[in-house]
Chains A and B, each alone.
Chain A
Amino acid sequence: MSKEIISAQRAEAWREELRKEIKNKDRVNIERVRMTELDPAYRITNNEEVNCGLTLEQARREASRCLDCPDPQCIEGCPVGIYIPTFIKNIERGEILEAAKTLKLTSALPAVCGRVCPQEKQCESKCFYKQKLKKEPVAIGYLERFAADYERESGNISVPEIKDKNGIKIAVVGSGPAGLSFAGEMAKYGYSVTVFEALHEIGGVLKYGIPEFRLPNSIVDVEIDGLRKMGVEFLTDCIVGKTITYDDLHEMGFKGVFVASGAGLPRFMNIPGENLIGVMSSNEYLTRVNLMGAASADSDTPVLKGKRVAVIGGGNTAMDSVRTAKRVGAERAIIVYRRSEEEMPARVEEVHHAKQEGVEFMTLHNPIEYIGDEKGRVKAMKLQKMRLGEPDASGRRSPEPIEGAVETLEIDEVIVSVGVSPNPLIPNTVKGLEISRKGTIVVDENTMKSALPDLYAGGDIVRGGATVILAMGDGRRAAMFMNESLKNNG
C-alpha cells in the first residue's frame, strides 16, 4: 500500500521536472550542510537551544542533494515511515508548507523528532549517499526540523485531514511521545481521543527529561496544540491505576485503551552512600530543572547546585544531566562511565556538544562508594578503574574491574543515570495483562495488542528504556491495528 503511495508521489509531474533540473552527478558533489551552533562559552551561560536550525537557502541546497531514489531506503529507516523524498523535494522547490504537511501525514511531532531522533542510526543510515556512495547522508533530520519550524513561524499551521467523527471513545494513558503519536493517528481516523496524564504538564519525557537547550518546551507545546486542534482532549493530574482504574475507563465508555506510561522508574546502583544528600537520579535532577524550572529565581522548586558534579552513565540522559549541571553553574562536570567512549549509547552529537562545553569524561571508571561529611552531604566518591574484557554473548565487551585500582574523587553532587525500569502502575493494577520478567507489558510485536482484547501498549512500557521515535512508531502502529480491529468488530 505505502509503496504505491511512494511511487505515485514520485511520479507527479513537478517531481519529474525537479529531478531533471540538476544532474545527479552535480547533486552528489554538493557538500552536506553544517548547522550553525551557539558558541560553547556563551551557551553554557543559559538555556538557549544550541542548534540554530537552517536558513531557507541552506535547506533548499541540502534538499537538492537528495537523489529522489525510486526505491527510497531512508523511509525504511524511519520508525513512523515519513515520506522522506516527498517532503525533501517540496523543500527543494520552495514549497515548505507542503513539506510540513507531508511530515504530518505520518508524524505527530516533526519539530521534536527533527531535533531528538538519532538519525545517524535511523533514516540517515539508510540514505543512498551513506550506503552506496560512502558520503555523508542527506541531512534528513535537519530538513525535517526546518520544515516544521518554518511552518510554525509562518503562522500558517495546517491541521491534518480528519475523517468524520465515528463517536467511538479511546483512552490514552500517558502523554509522552508514544501516547501523542497514537492520539494523533486515532484522531485522524475519526475517534474521540482522551489522553490521561499523571503530571501537571503534557509531553512526558519531552517536558521533564530533555532539556531546553536541546528541545525548547514551547516547541513541544505548539505540537501538542496541533493535536488539540485535531480534537484530542488532555486530562492532566490523572493517574490511571490510582485516580481512575481500567474498569472506570470502561464505565466511562472507552472502547479502546492505549497504555504508553513509559519507563519512568530510575535505577540506582545500590552501593554504599547512595542515599547521601547530593546524590540523586537523573529523573529527579532533570525534572526539577526542566519541568519545575528550579534553576530560575522565580520558581519555588529548589535544586542543589554542585560545584563538582559527577554524572554516572553514558546515555543521552547522562549527557542531558551533565550539560544541565554546567548550565546550573558547576565548575567541573564529569561523566563517569564504566565502559569506553566507543560503547557509549549517547548520540555522537551529544557527546561532541558536551565536550565542547567543557564536560570531562572519565571512561572505564565505576563508582563503588560515596562518602559523606558530618551533615550527610556527599563530598567524595570511590572509583574502581575498569578495563574491557572479552566480548560477551551479545558481542559487547563487558567491563571488568582492575584489581586494586581504586581512586577517590572529590565531588559535591552525583547524578545517577544508569537507566530506568518500566513503570509498574498499570502492570500492577490491570488484571489479566501479561507482564515480562523485566516488568514490561507483553504485546504482539506487530499489532501492539496485549493479552487483553481492548488494551494496546507501546513505547518504553513495552520496550524498557528506548527512543522517542521508536515510541512514536509504536503509537502509530497500535493506532493502525486498533482501528482495524474496531472497524471490523464495530
Chain B
Amino acid sequence: MDWKLWEPLIEFARKRSLWIVSFCTGCGGIEMPPLMTSRYDLERFGMMPNPAPRMADLFLITGYVTPKTLKRIIITYEMQPDPKYVIAHGSCTINGGIYWDAYNAIKRLDAYIPVDVYIAGCMPRPESVMEGINKMMEMIENGTADSWKRYKENYEWYKKNQDELFGEGWREREAKRWIPWIMDDLKRVEKEREKND
C-alpha cells in the first residue's frame, strides 16, 4: 500500500489531535488549566491533557527547569512514541530568564532536549500560548516540526550535554538512589520490633 497518498490526511490528523502530556514545571503550570477550561478552550483544536506519556504527542515545558526536573523531563520525553513535539514556554526555558545566575536552573533547554517552538514571556498569556500552538500546527503541516528527528540524529550531542550536567550513568544512579534509604528504614523497623518483643 502506498502511504504517500494518505500523507495529507495523516498530517491533518497529527495536527488536529495533539495530546499534551500534563507535566507542569515551574510557574507556567498555572497557565495550563485556563487554557483547557471554558474561556480559552483548547479542546476546540482536539488537544487534550493526558497524564500518560506513552499517548502524548506534545510536550509543553512550562517554565524554569532544575537539574532534578530535567532528569524526569528527559525520561518522559524518551517515553513518548515518535512524532513528538516540544513547545518551550516562558523566558526561563530560553536563556534562564530571571534565574540567569542561579546555580540550580538550566540556562538553555535546547541543549538537553530539542525544542520546536519557543514562547517568550514571563509568564506568557494564554493567547500567546495559543499563538505558539498555532505556529506548531503550521510547522506540522509543512513538515518543519522535526525535533524528534533531530534528537535521533544528534543523539550523541544531546547525550554529551546531559552527561556533562548529571555525570555519566545518571539513570542508574537515580533509580538506585532510594535503595539504601529504604534498607536503613527496614533495619530500623526490624530493630524496633526486636526491642518490643
A-B complex is real: no
B-binding residues in A (CB < 8 A): none
A-binding residues in B (CB < 8 A): none
